[in-house]
Structure 1
Amino acid sequence: MPRLAWFLVTFLLFFRSLSAPAQETLVISGIEKSSYATISERVMREAYGRMGITVEFSGLPAERALVVADSGRVDGELYRIKNVHLKYPNLIMLPVPIGIMEGIAITTDPGIELKNWDDLGHYSVCIRTGVKFAEAGTRHLQVQTVNSNELMFQMLGLERCDVIVLARLTSIALAQEFSRRENKPVQYHLLQTYPLFHYLHKKNAHLVPELTTVLEAMKSEGRIAAIRAAYIEEISSIY
């Protein structure tokens, strides 16, 4: 190839690389040490990947994750229950559920029977700060709040509360470790089941239509359910 032609080809390739748009990267906050975060990360990584967007996830304490997302310091919140944006107005809820969560109560006393939130009123209850379904379900009760699921189980073991409230999948490893350590079984009580939704900060409102379409496709394909089922199989084989 003549030297001039080679120079022109090289120049055009170089210019094209400069003018090509860089792949977009989003940073999404979420609740740290949560099984639901793990499932939601897998769902949303695939969803954004279908849009050609790279995504990074930042695990934070539950309340802080929402505050950071609402402030715009990150691009959105990984998953929460429905209508969190009514309290955090800078967040936009994507309308397609990306998972489900079972809110449960855990006790060690086999004599305690719980079927709904109202039944908790007879007992001392511990919840984790910033976990919105637990805060909403116990809003009419006097509860003790702690900063981690581990601390809730410690309170249960020390009999400083009769009941702890958390999400079922998040509880599995902690409950089994608690039972081994305390040499006592735990009792599970289903309180309520919730769909989970992804939230974007309003600065990313332009992504909502396409992301909604992608999530609708993944739901129709059975992909969201398959990701959840695969994760449950993983943790079941471990524990």
Structure 2
Amino acid sequence: MLQLPATSSAAEEIRFAISIPDVNRPSTTIAQKILQYAYARLGIKLDFIATPGVRAQAMWSSGQLDGIAARVIDGGLPDSIKISVPIVLEESVVYAIDKKFVVNGYDSLNPYLIGYISGFPYLEERLKNAPRKEHAPNLESLFRKLEAGRTEIAVESRFSSCLTHKLGFHNITMLEPSLEKVYGYHVLHIKHKQIAPALELVLKNMEKDGVIKNIQDEIMRDYMAQCS
């Protein structure tokens, strides 16, 4: 049994930002479930705040957050502690209708008008040099713009193909290979540095015992079952 650091209270509740759930994203659910399990071991309750990534950074700077549930990019977040155990995996892919080309990194997208969802610093960074791009407020809007010809390609998670089936956009295809695979890590504000060692140990034990993989697999099975 892990001892909760003396500076924390068993009744404590801390606030984490999590990606805004414009649709049911498996990575969002996975991060929540893993962290709820881990923090329960420490006697700490969690309050998840759904917000776009850009607003999460503003809330972080103003001291309104205790952590970020899962973050896939390093840097740009002062006074933060990254917990070294990966808890989510995201795979960025290209969606298209009548465009066929070999995907070879983000620069290979430059000839096309690229659609993407705004508010995610990860994508903003990756597409900063793209000469032509069009943002969308949410995933459904992203695919509707692509289907209507308002964009030529779209960049999103591999698992977002689920929504194209639900919307009936069977002409939207996913190009291979993927742009990249990235791991997401939990981030704590430095004001909670006393929690970090115990939390890291909990997550390492969860990884070693297969708990993290079991949570990931269970959520992915449920997600894929409702995709058709």
| TM norm structure 1 | 0.82
The one-letter code sitting in structure 1 at the alignment partner of 2:113 is: S
The one-letter code sitting in structure 2 at the alignment partner of 1:119 is: S
Which residue does 1:164 correspond to in 2?
Answer: 154
Which structure exhibits the higher relative contact order, with contacts defined as CA atoms closer than 8 Å and separated by 6 or more residues? 2
Distance (whole Å) between structure 1 residues aligned to residue 70 and residue 27 of structure 2: 8
SS at structure 1 position matched to 2:89:
strand
| Alpha-carbon RMSD | 1.8
2:209 is the counterpart of 1:221: yes
Of 43, 47, 51, which aligns to 2:38? 47
Where in structure 2 are the equivalents of 1:106-185 lying within 5 Å? 106-109=95-98, 111-142=100-131, 143-169=133-159, 171-178=160-167, 180=168, 182=169, 184-185=171-172
Q: Deviations over 1:54-74 (max 9, x none)?
A: 112111123212322343212
The one-letter code sitting in structure 1 at the alignment partner of 2:174 is: Q
Query: Are the structure 2 counterparts of residues 177 and 124 from structure 1 closer, same or farther at C-alpha, using a change threshold of 3 Å?
Result: same
Of 25, 29, 34, which aligns to 1:38? 29
Distance (whole Å) between structure 2 residues aligned to residue 183 and residue 93 of structure 1: 40
Does the 8 Å CA contact 1:101/1:193 hold for their aligned counterparts? Answer: yes
Which residue does 2:226 correspond to in 1?
Answer: 238
Distance (whole Å) between structure 2 residues aligned to residue 185 and residue 70 of structure 1: 39
Larger helix fraction of residues: 1
| Gapped regions of structure 1 (runs ≥ 5) | 1-20
Query: Are the structure 2 counterparts of residues 107 and 115 from structure 1 closer, same or farther at C-alpha, using a change threshold of 3 Å?
Result: same
Aligned length: 214
The one-letter code sitting in structure 2 at the alignment partner of 1:53 is: I
Distance (whole Å) between structure 2 residues aligned to residue 183 and residue 103 of structure 1: 20
Which residue does 1:73 correspond to in 2?
Answer: 64
Which residue does 1:3 correspond to in 2?
Answer: none
Query: Are the structure 2 counterparts of residues 35 and 67 from structure 1 closer, same or farther at C-alpha, using a change threshold of 3 Å?
Result: farther
Does the 8 Å CA contact 2:16/2:65 hold for their aligned counterparts? Answer: yes
SS at structure 2 position matched to 1:94:
strand
Query: Are the structure 2 counterparts of residues 35 and 71 from structure 1 closer, same or farther at C-alpha, using a change threshold of 3 Å?
Result: farther
> Which one has the largest radius of gyration?
1
Q: CA deviation at 1:140?
A: 1.6
SS at structure 1 position matched to 2:194:
helix
Does the 8 Å CA contact 1:110/1:187 hold for their aligned counterparts? Answer: no
The one-letter code sitting in structure 1 at the alignment partner of 2:92 is: G
Q: CA deviation at 1:147?
A: 2.3
State the identity %: 24
2:186 is the counterpart of 1:198: yes
Does the 8 Å CA contact 1:29/1:77 hold for their aligned counterparts? Answer: yes
Distance (whole Å) between structure 1 residues aligned to residue 101 and residue 28 of structure 2: 30
Between 1:158-167 and 1:126-135, the stretch displaced more is 126-135
Which residue does 2:87 correspond to in 1?
Answer: 98
The one-letter code sitting in structure 1 at the alignment partner of 2:16 is: I
Q: Deviations over 1:158-215 (max 9, x none)?
A: 211111111222x13322123x1x4524224311000110111222121111111111
Distance (whole Å) between structure 1 residues aligned to residue 53 and residue 163 of structure 2: 17
Which residue does 1:17 correspond to in 2?
Answer: none
